[in-house]
Amino acid sequence: MALKLTITDSRGVTATYHQLAMAVIDYSADSPVVTARVRSYVNQAARDAENLPFGGTAVWSRDVVLTSMPGAINQSTIYAALKKSADFLNATDC
């Protein structure tokens, strides 16, 4: 599971493939707050190469704080919330 969206960072590096690397759930607030670490790659082939010895690497990773998480918290609901966040608005599943 991953997201497809073309993003160019301040250095001019463009990534099109974004994958959830980990999530931290904070239950201390009135409703859970999820911090999702998303790793971004030039494309899916670069991500797939990361699984090989001396393979590709992410061009960047970012933490996205998700404060509105209705219902169960799992990989699918985190991806759905990411697609509603400003960082990944208009992203599609891939």
Q: How confident is the model at residue 49 (pLDDT cuts 50, 70, 90)?
A: confident
Write out the residue range of the structural domain in which residue 24 sits: 3-93
pLDDT band at 79 (very low <50, low <70, confident <90, very high): very high
State what percent of residues in the chain have pLDDT above 90.
Answer: 64
Spell out the residues 6+ positions from residue 28 whose beta carbon is closer than 8 angstroms to its own.
Answer: none
Please tell me the total count of domains within the chain.
1
CB 18 within 8 A of CB 38: yes
Structure tokens at 61: 């990773």
H/E stretch holding 76: helix 75-84
pLDDT tens, residue by residue, 20-33? 999 999 999 888 99
Tokens standing for residue 9:
């960072």
